[in-house]
C-alpha cells in the first residue's frame, strides 16, 4: 500500500470515527441510562484513533472494528428510543416510579420520599429489593432482552414459595408466590415483545386482555386473581389454615397450566 493510499484510508476512517464520537457525546449528554455502554464505545473509538496512526495498523481489521462499533451504537440508540417511549408511559401514570427508575439507573442513593416509594414498590411486586433495582434500571431495554431474566425470577420465587410453604410460613410463601406469578406474566409479555409495568395490577390485567390468546385468558385471569388473594393474605393474614391450603392448591393447578403455556413459547 502506497503512502498516498495509507493517508486516504486514514483520512476516511478518521472522518467516520470523529462522526461516531460526536454522535456518542450527544447521546451521552441526553441519556444516562446506558452510561456504561456509551463509555465503553467511547473508549473503543479513542483506542482506534491511536491505532490508526501506528505503523502496524491493518486497514481491513480497523474497518471491521469500525463496522462493529457502528452496529453497537445503532443498538444503543434503538434501546434509548424504546426506553424513552416506555419511560414516557410510566411518567404519565406513575411519575414517582419514573423518578425511581432514573435514579436507580444512575446509581444514585434513594432518600426520603423516594426511599419510601421504593419500599412500597417492593411490597406491590413481591420481589426482593435487589431484583426490583435491576428491573428499574432496565426499564428502557427491549422487553425481549429480559426473557431469560424473567424466567429465572419466576423459577426463583416459585421455588422459594414452595420451600416456605413446606416450612409452614404461609404469609411469606404467599408473597413469594405472588412475585412468581408477576414474573411469569412479565415473561409471557417479554416473549411477545410487550412492555408491562409490573407494579400495576390493572396493567397486568390489560396485558392479559390484549396479548394472551383468547383460549388462555381465563386461565391467566384466574391465576392472577388467586395469587393476588394470597398477596393480600401476606399483609392481612386473612386466611385460616384450611382456606389457605385450598387457595394454595387451586393456585398451584393454575400455575402449572399457565407455566406450560408460557414455556412452550420460549425461544429455542
User: What is the DSSP annotation of 90-135?
Assistant: HHHH-HHHHHHHHHHHTTPPP-HHHHHHHHHHHHHH---HHHHHHH
Q: Per-residue pLDDT tens for 8-64? A: 888 888 888 888 887 777 656 555 556 777 788 888 888 888 888 888 878 888 888
The pLDDT tens digits for 189-244 are: 999 888 776 566 777 888 888 889 999 999 999 999 999 888 888 877 777 888 88
Using an 8 Å Cβ cutoff, are 190 and 139 in contact?
no
CB-CB contact of 178 with 233 (8 Å): no
Task: Provide the CA 106 distance to its chain's centre, in angstroms.
Answer: 15
Q: Are 233 and 239 spatial neighbours (Cβ–Cβ below 8 Å)? A: yes
- In degrees and rounded to multiples of 5, residue 267 shows phi and psi of -65, 140
Assigned C-alpha cell, 203:
396493567
Where do the structural domains in the chain lie, given as residue ranges?
Answer: 3-88, 94-138, 141-268
- Tell me which DSSP letter residue 138 carries: T
- Summarize pLDDT for 242-259 with one digit per residue, the tens: 888 999 999 999 999 999
Sort 179 into a burial class: Cβ within 10 Å, 0-12 / 13-18 / 19+. buried
Kindly calculate the radius of gyration of the chain based on its CA atoms and give it in whole angstroms.
24
Reported pTM: 0.67
**Nearest to 33, CA basis, from 138, 161, 114, 163:** 138
The length of the chain in residues reads 268
The domain at 141-268 falls in which architecture? Up-down Bundle (1.20)
CB 101 within 8 A of CB 139: yes
Amino acid at each position: 500500500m502506497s503512502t498516498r493510499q495509507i493517508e486516504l484510508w486514514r483520512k476516511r476512517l478518521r472522518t467516520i470515527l470523529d462522526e461516531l464520537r460526536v454522535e456518542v457525546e450527544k447521546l451521552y449528554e441526553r441519556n444516562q441510562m446506558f452510561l456504561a455502554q456509551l463509555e465503553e464505545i467511547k473508549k473503543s473509538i479513542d483506542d482506534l484513533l491511536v491505532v490508526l496512526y501506528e505503523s502496524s495498523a491493518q486497514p481491513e481489521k480497523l474497518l471491521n472494528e469500525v463496522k462493529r462499533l457502528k452496529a453497537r451504537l445503532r443498538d444503543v440508540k434503538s434501546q434509548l428510543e424504546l426506553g424513552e417511549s416506555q419511560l414516557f408511559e410510566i411518567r404519565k401514570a406513575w411519575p414517582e416510579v419514573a423518578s425511581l427508575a432514573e435514579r436507580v439507573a444512575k446509581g444514585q442513593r434513594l432518600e426520603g420520599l423516594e426511599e419510601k416509594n421504593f419500599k412500597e414498590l417492593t411490597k406491590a411486586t413481591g420481589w426482593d429489593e435487589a431484583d426490583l433495582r435491576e428491573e428499574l434500571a432496565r426499564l428502557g431495554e427491549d422487553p425481549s432482552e429480559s426473557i431469560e431474566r424473567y424466567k429465572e425470577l419466576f423459577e426463583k420465587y416459585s421455588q422459594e414459595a414452595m420451600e416456605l410453604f413446606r416450612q409452614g410460613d404461609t404469609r411469606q410463601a404467599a408473597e413469594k408466590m405472588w412475585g412468581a406469578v408477576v414474573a411469569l406474566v412479565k415473561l409471557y409479555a417479554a416473549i411477545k415483545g410487550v412492555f408491562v409495568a409490573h407494579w400495576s395490577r390493572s396493567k397486568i390485567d390489560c396485558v392479559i386482555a390484549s396479548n394472551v390468546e383468547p383460549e388462555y385468558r381465563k386461565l391467566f385471569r384466574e391465576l392472577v386473581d388467586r395469587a393476588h388473594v394470597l398477596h393480600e393474605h401476606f399483609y392481612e393474614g386473612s386466611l385460616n389454615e384450611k382456606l389457605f391450603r385450598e387457595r394454595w392448591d387451586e393456585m398451584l393447578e393454575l400455575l402449572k397450566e399457565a407455566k406450560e403455556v408460557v414455556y412452550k413459547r420460549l425461544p429455542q
